[in-house]
Amino acid sequence: MTVPEVVTNQNMEYLRNLVKKGANNWPGAKFIVRPDGKLIDLSVLHNRTDQHLEIGYTVERHLQDNDYVIFNR
């Protein structure tokens, strides 16, 4: 499961580290969504260190401890 998080000045380094870990290591990130709608799948990207983030991008990161989750029954 992932949660979208928009890249800001305050969380850029944190999200950059999650992108470097990739989709198969927890906690990591699965996708980067650019403002133009382009989706970058980190599970098929071989060199994740070249992938740069900019303010306004959205990172689909793995759920972590202390994240809020709402369930509907």
- Model confidence at 8: pLDDT above 90: yes
Write down the pLDDT at residue 49. 57
For the stretch 10-35, pLDDT in tens is: 999 999 999 988 888 889 999 999 99
Write down the pLDDT at residue 48. 57
C-alpha dist (Å) from residue 40 to 37, 58, 69, 73 = 10, 10, 25, 32
For the stretch 24-72, pLDDT in tens is: 888 999 999 999 999 988 888 776 555 788 999 999 999 999 988 888 8
The Cα–Cα gap between 29 and 17 comes to: 9
Count, residues in the chain: 73
